[in-house]
Amino acid sequence: MRQRVLLELAKYDQTDRTESFRAVTEASAMVLDVERTSIWHIVDDQSAIVCEDLFCRPERLHEEGQVLTAREHPRYFKALLESRTIRADDAMTDPRTSEFADGYMAPLGISSMMDVPIWHRGKLYGVLCCEHLGPRRHWRDEEAELAGNLADIVSGGMDARERFRAERRWTMLVESVSEAVFVLDLELTIRQMNEPGRRLMEHLDVGLTNEDRRRELEFRDQLGRIVPPEQLPIQHAARGEEATEILEMRHKQYGHVGWFRLHAKPILEGGQVQSLVAVMSDVTKEVRFERLKSEFLAALAHELKTPLAIARGNAQLMLEQPDLPTPIAAAMVATERATTRTDQLVQDTIDMSALTLGRLSLTRERVDLGSLVGSMVERMRRPFPDRTFRTTTVVPAMVMADVIRIEQVLRRLLDRAVRNSPPGSEIETTVSVDKAYVTVSVRDHGRAIPADQQAEVFDAFARPDGAPAGCGGLRIGLHVAREVILLHGGEIWFESEEGHGTMFAFKLPREEPS
């Protein structure tokens, strides 16, 4: 019978604290054949215990609320806090329980007591108390073990209630947000979702498993490239990484669904990924607005290119005149430098808009990167006569590349090196070749990039190297340079250390010479 009672208690709905405690005290009274059983909770400062449920078996009544203090019962509390079972066959004389003799046990006829500690999450929660009336009773080992099992059921019930409350809070939270929220298992099957998530899945008419989604859906980045399933945020979360991406979701049969910010995070237990939570926010309107801004900036930049070209051309024409007075020559050099710089910013804006709109395309041809680098360095000498340019190249260094785009990358790296190094310093450009790649590096000896800014060097609109927050200046160029190199199937990186300047480098796949 005892095993059957324990099994029934284990299956009992323990989300209701009062009903759960009552079930345990009633079962304890029955299987241990005692007249009174109770559950007590020890307060945080261990100065008292409070009765949470007392079952009187003869009357079949439940009570609660009685308080026993450590000040009035010091020996009992000392024994209780030692966290051992108190088996008092003669409770009236046992030193651990005799403090209750006159005011509690004698009036009720209690002769024997057994108190078993209740542990919860590694801390002493309280005690399960069993009280026998009538002749003294000897508590057997198997009875103490059974009482310990009942105390464990109390602890398990508290765990169940905490999980229930957490799940209820979770449900209330996720149902209150407008984003679609999903909980997935390690096989990436959706196990739980909120109402926006259910509406989205019904609209898509897609199943809940990962295979269903792969079969029906695809995701594209902002350049229009299909994102492989293993690179989606939920796959990162399955590997224990938190990830966020803005992606276009397309139904393979019906086409465009919308733009979504996908955020996925692993749920860990014991340091291991147990499940995932994914949040999908519809950002279609925001993406369309950003694209509209990009269209406007691209149109504005194109309108600026013609007057800039005229101003730069006139400055270059004046500089070709013999015997040009020194003040005028200096003004024309400054004009050429300023218009060149402005033209670069305009081109950066056009390229940034093209990247945002997914329209940055490449026209590739075989080109000797060594010769191209040498030519670009020579063009930098006249507008910056106060810098020393040193070039080490290997010819041939053949690649398949868009010449105009690679020239823009080189110009951005050289321009950055000039702006971040003092007059009179040396700028080193190197071209090297190995079996697979051609590598180009540009090194300056100016100030280093602060360590706390290095992670954002290639981000669009990050503040300039070493500039304080709020300082003017855009770093569109390095962001565009990175995207151009990536489109070529290459890599770009940098090294920066105080006292040694900064080196930017990129490599492109090598083509064998003809």
pLDDT band for position 465 (cuts 50, 70, 90)? low
Average pLDDT over residues 466-495: 76
Backbone angles phi, psi at 248, to 5 degrees: -90, 130
Choice between 437 and 269, residue whose per-residue pLDDT is larger: 437
Count of CB atoms situated within 10 Å of the CB of 429: 22
pLDDT at residue 64, as a whole number: 93
User: Which of the residue ranges 51-55, 144-148, 329-333, 383-387 would you say has the lowest mean pLDDT?
Assistant: 383-387
Residue 100 · residue 91 · CB < 8 Å = yes
What's the pLDDT tens digit per position in 17-26? 888 888 889 9
370's tokens: 């060594």
Residue 84 has pLDDT above 90, yes or no: no
Indicate the length of the chain as a whole number.
514
Average pLDDT, the chain: 86
Q: Which helix (H) or strand (E) holds 262?
A: strand 255-269
User: Which of the residue ranges 172-186, 223-237, 345-359, 445-459 would you say has the lowest mean pLDDT?
Assistant: 345-359
465 φ/ψ sector (left φ>0, alpha ψ -120 to 50, else beta)? beta
pTM of the model: 0.46
Average pLDDT over residues 210-231: 89
pLDDT band for position 469 (cuts 50, 70, 90)? very low
Residue 68 · residue 105 · CB < 8 Å = no
Average pLDDT over residues 4-8: 61
pLDDT at residue 436, as a whole number: 92
Amino acid 435 reads K
Nearest-5° angle of CA 260, CA 229, CA 255? 50
What's the pLDDT tens digit per position in 370-419? 999 999 998 888 778 888 899 998 778 999 999 999 998 998 899 889 88
Residue 5 · residue 30 · CB < 8 Å = yes
For 237, the 3-state DSSP assignment is: helix
What's the pLDDT tens digit per position in 85-118? 899 999 999 999 999 998 889 999 999 999 999 9
pLDDT at residue 10, as a whole number: 59
User: Which of the residue ranges 59-68, 172-181, 426-435, 459-468 would you say has the lowest mean pLDDT?
Assistant: 459-468
Nearest-5° angle of CA 409, CA 415, CA 420? 130
| Superfamily name with CATH number, domain 292-509 | Histidine kinase-like ATPase, C-terminal domain (3.30.565.10)
Residue 229 has pLDDT above 50, yes or no: yes
Cα 33 to Cα 26: distance, rounded to the nearest angstrom: 10
Cβ-Cβ contacts under 8 Å for 468 (sequence gap 6 or more)? none
Q: Which helix (H) or strand (E) holds 374?
A: helix 369-381
Cα 374 to Cα 380: distance, rounded to the nearest angstrom: 10
Instruction: Decide yes or no: CATH 3.30.450.20 for domain 177-282.
Output: yes
> Edge-to-edge strand order for the sheet containing 217-220?
190-193, 180-184, 272-282, 255-269, 243-251, 217-220
CATH number for 2-168 (one of 3.30.70.270, 3.30.450.40, 3.40.50.1820, 3.40.640.10): it is 3.30.450.40
DSSP letter, residue 498: T
221's tokens: 């980045």
The 3-class SS string of 292-322 reads: HHHHHHHHHHHHHHHHHHHHHHHHHHHHCCC
Q: Which helix (H) or strand (E) holds 125?
A: strand 123-133
What's the pLDDT tens digit per position in 181-203? 999 999 999 988 888 998 888 88
Q: Do domains 177-282 and 292-509 have the same CATH topology?
A: no
For 126, the 3-state DSSP assignment is: strand
User: Which of the residue ranges 34-48, 139-153, 319-333, 452-466 would you say has the lowest mean pLDDT?
Assistant: 452-466
Residue 13 has pLDDT above 70, yes or no: no
Cα 275 to Cα 187: distance, rounded to the nearest angstrom: 9
Count of CB atoms situated within 10 Å of the CB of 133: 16
Cα 96 to Cα 133: distance, rounded to the nearest angstrom: 18
pLDDT at residue 443, as a whole number: 94
Q: Which DSSP string corresponds to 1-70? A: -HHHHHHHHHHS--SSHHHHHHHHHHHHHHHHT-SEEEEEEE-TTSSEEEEEEEEETTTTEEE---EEET
pLDDT band for position 9 (cuts 50, 70, 90)? low
Choice between 89 and 9, residue whose per-residue pLDDT is larger: 89
Long-range contacts of 9-18 (CB under 8 A, 24+ apart): 9/150, 9/153, 10/153, 10/156, 12/157, 14/156, 14/157, 14/160, 14/161, 15/160, 15/161, 15/164, 17/157, 17/161, 18/53
Backbone angles phi, psi at 375, to 5 degrees: -65, -40
Residue 279 has pLDDT above 80, yes or no: yes
Backbone angles phi, psi at 140, to 5 degrees: -80, 165
pLDDT band for position 480 (cuts 50, 70, 90)? confident
Q: Where are the domains of the chain?
A: 2-168, 177-282, 292-509
pLDDT band for position 477 (cuts 50, 70, 90)? confident
